[in-house]
Chains A and B, each alone.
Chain A
């Protein structure tokens, strides 16, 4: 029941990555993961992905947004769905004004989700974005 889609999961919390990986793999996605933004960008240079799930605050408070912008600069990933996950404290602590349609567009993000992410909602969101 493979979907044939590759998802990039980037978070500095290995357990969070593991939990999301389990959720996605059970739904038939192939998951590649990284713990830093730099690592993530190196990873997609080898092989592009179809969806990206990024943690906002990693080695830098805006590392997730930097990865999103890095993906968008590559033509093959210019239009892939990008989901940014953050904890509420990060969002309020870090430029809450980016969580607007304009802000999301500017950062190259399609959806902004709070941690923890409801597994079913995550899967529905990916479905919607990849089929839309």
Chain B
């Protein structure tokens, strides 16, 4: 310890004393600065780096004790040693009370001085090390605490359920999501106890047993039965440094959404398959009739069959087109639509003109009533043509011969309302709510002859939703239906939009 080098300040009004000390200390390798007064000492001390100060007690001007007090205020880690010519017990006590570590009495031998200086420097370094260690420990402690609290917060706020069980299969941790997913309320599982079969589903406990038994596996995963909610569990084995199992982390996830998506997907695919298969079956059946030669003698009938086949293939093409449109619309973001202020009058006229031919064929009277001034809506023009085209087309198709279709538009509070009314077959009670579901078609004796893809209203609904609008349907079976579309007016004037 004594080998270590220090930077030492010697304060004494006697030149001989100052230089004597300097010689002794510098011979030992220490760095020495000297001051002849308290004032000069303070100045030198302020430059910093002094580890030990040897202070003469009796100096003219500022006394040694006064200097000691002021220096300690500046640097409490520096070690102070008093040098005094009056080596009495009182002065020693007085000096240590003022914060000096030790004292040395004049006159002293170089060995006496070195002994005190070495002890004092050793103390200084000890103090420094202790202080450093304390700072480090505090920092580590803070780090651990922050880490722990962060981990705890993450686990507590996770949507997945988490539970940890130890080697003894006792519960060590479980988060609120786990309790929520497993439907545990009221009586809560006790930490330090095995997860009780009364609270935890048996298949989960079995899965955990399996993981405990097959200690060499890293992960087991399975779907838990008995939903909803449909749950899946992943179990990972925690190991120590030697690879020995310490316990299990069990994560329970809610897969209800994924399952229902899967179901909807498979329903949709089988509906599409059915919708394609029916017309294909009819076409194939017709072609078989011709190929078998059944109608060989009836060219008129054959022509009729072929034109029906042509019509059915057209409907199939329309179905494929509708499917592609529907899929495109579902993936289309707002940004990809060309939204611009649009006056619907012109679009409605276009939709009605398009349906006029089929209306004439069915002797359905088409009327349009538009106000002189119709407020604009923010809309994609192509989609608006599609929307009103579909609605007018439906109104004509599901009409009776000699019936009427009336299209009306008017401004309402924050919205533009467009009504398409018909005198058609109407929609049976209970069927209205299904309208707009993909492939839903009202099947009654009145509609059996009408061809359609069952996607028209789905597409309408998609378009209306994309434009923040609503659709209202009123209908009386055998009397007719009214489809009312409400689209928010341009310029954010919409009052009740959601």
Residues of A within 8 A of B (CB): 12-16, 18-20, 22-23, 26, 35-36, 39, 57-59, 87-90, 93, 115-120
Question: Which residue, A13, A59, A118, A120, has most C-beta atoms of chain B within 10 A?
Answer: A13
Q: Which residue of B lies closest to A13 (CB)?
A: B282
Please report the C-alpha to C-alpha distance between residue A15 and residue B451 in the assembled complex, in whole angstroms.
11
* B274:A89 contact, CB within 8 angstroms: yes
> What residues of chain B lie closer than 8 Å to A117, measured between beta carbons?
285, 288
* A19:B270 contact, CB within 8 angstroms: no
Q: Which of B270-325 contact A (CB under 8 A)?
A: 270, 273-274, 277-279, 281-286, 288-289, 292, 294-295, 301, 305, 308, 312
Name the interface size band of chain B.
Answer: 20 to 34
* B449:A15 contact, CB within 8 angstroms: no
CB-defined A-B contacts under 8 Å, sample of 29: A12-B443, A13-B278, A13-B281, A14-B448, A15-B283, A16-B285, A18-B308, A19-B282, A19-B285, A19-B288, A20-B285, A22-B301, A23-B292, A23-B294, A35-B445, A35-B448, A36-B443, A36-B444, A36-B445, A59-B443, A87-B274, A89-B273, A90-B274, A93-B270, A115-B285, A116-B282, A116-B284, A116-B288, A119-B294
> What residues of chain A lie closer than 8 Å to B282, measured between beta carbons?
13, 15-16, 19, 116
> What residues of chain B lie closer than 8 Å to A36, measured between beta carbons?
443-445, 448
Q: Which residue of B lies closest to A117 (CB)?
A: B285
* B281:A119 contact, CB within 8 angstroms: no
Please report the C-alpha to C-alpha distance between residue A18 and residue B308 in the assembled complex, in whole angstroms.
11
Min distance, Cβ B306 to any Cβ of chain A, angstroms: 12
Please report the C-alpha to C-alpha distance between residue A89 and residue B269 in the assembled complex, in whole angstroms.
11
Q: Given A15-B312, A89-B273, decide whether A23 and B443 contact each other with a Cβ distance below 8 A.
A: no
Please report the C-alpha to C-alpha distance between residue A128 and residue B282 in the assembled complex, in whole angstroms.
25
Please report the C-alpha to C-alpha distance between residue A16 and residue B273 in the assembled complex, in whole angstroms.
17
* B281:A87 contact, CB within 8 angstroms: yes
> What residues of chain B lie closer than 8 Å to A26, measured between beta carbons?
294-295
Given contacts A23-B292, A120-B292, 4 further A-B contacts (CB under 8 A): A15-B282, A15-B312, A22-B289, A23-B288
Q: Which residue of B lies closest to A39 (CB)?
A: B445
Min distance, Cβ A36 to any Cβ of chain B, angstroms: 6
> What residues of chain A lie closer than 8 Å to B285, measured between beta carbons?
15-16, 19-20, 115-117
Please report the C-alpha to C-alpha distance between residue A119 and residue B290 in the assembled complex, in whole angstroms.
10
Please report the C-alpha to C-alpha distance between residue A111 and residue B281 in the assembled complex, in whole angstroms.
18
4 closest cross-chain pairs (CB), A and B: A116-B284, A19-B285, A15-B282, A115-B281
> What residues of chain B lie closer than 8 Å to A59, measured between beta carbons?
443-444
> What residues of chain A lie closer than 8 Å to B273, measured between beta carbons?
89
Please report the C-alpha to C-alpha distance between residue A13 and residue B277 in the assembled complex, in whole angstroms.
11
Q: Which residue of A lies closest to B274 (CB)?
A: A89
Q: Which residue of A lies closest to B296 (CB)?
A: A26
Please report the C-alpha to C-alpha distance between residue A37 and residue B281 in the assembled complex, in whole angstroms.
20
Q: Which residue of B lies closest to A25 (CB)?
A: B294
Q: Which residue of B lies closest to A36 (CB)?
A: B445
Q: Given A22-B301, A87-B274, decide whether A14 and B449 contact each other with a Cβ distance below 8 A.
A: yes
Please report the C-alpha to C-alpha distance between residue A119 and residue B449 in the assembled complex, in whole angstroms.
24
Min distance, Cβ A12 to any Cβ of chain B, angstroms: 6
Please report the C-alpha to C-alpha distance between residue A24 and residue B295 in the assembled complex, in whole angstroms.
12
Min distance, Cβ A17 to any Cβ of chain B, angstroms: 9
Min distance, Cβ A62 to any Cβ of chain B, angstroms: 14
* B301:A116 contact, CB within 8 angstroms: no
* B295:A22 contact, CB within 8 angstroms: yes
Question: Which residue, A14, A19, A23, A35, has most C-beta atoms of chain B within 10 A?
Answer: A19
> What residues of chain B lie closer than 8 Å to A90, measured between beta carbons?
274
Min distance, Cβ A74 to any Cβ of chain B, angstroms: 22
Proximity string of chain B (151-181) to chain A, C-beta cutoff 8 Å, 1 when within and 0 when not? 0000000000000000000000000000000
Q: Which of B443-480 contact A (CB under 8 A)?
A: 443-445, 448-449
> What residues of chain B lie closer than 8 Å to A93, measured between beta carbons?
270, 274
Please report the C-alpha to C-alpha distance between residue A19 and residue B278 in the assembled complex, in whole angstroms.
13
* B308:A15 contact, CB within 8 angstroms: yes
> What residues of chain B lie closer than 8 Å to A88, measured between beta carbons?
277
> What residues of chain A lie closer than 8 Å to B295, measured between beta carbons?
22, 26
Proximity string of chain B (244-275) to chain A, C-beta cutoff 8 Å, 1 when within and 0 when not? 00000000000000000000000000100110
> What residues of chain A lie closer than 8 Å to B274, measured between beta carbons?
57, 87, 89-90, 93
Min distance, Cβ A116 to any Cβ of chain B, angstroms: 4
Q: Given A15-B308, A22-B295, decide whether A119 and B288 contact each other with a Cβ distance below 8 A.
A: yes
* B443:A58 contact, CB within 8 angstroms: yes
* B312:A23 contact, CB within 8 angstroms: no
Min distance, Cβ B111 to any Cβ of chain A, angstroms: 107
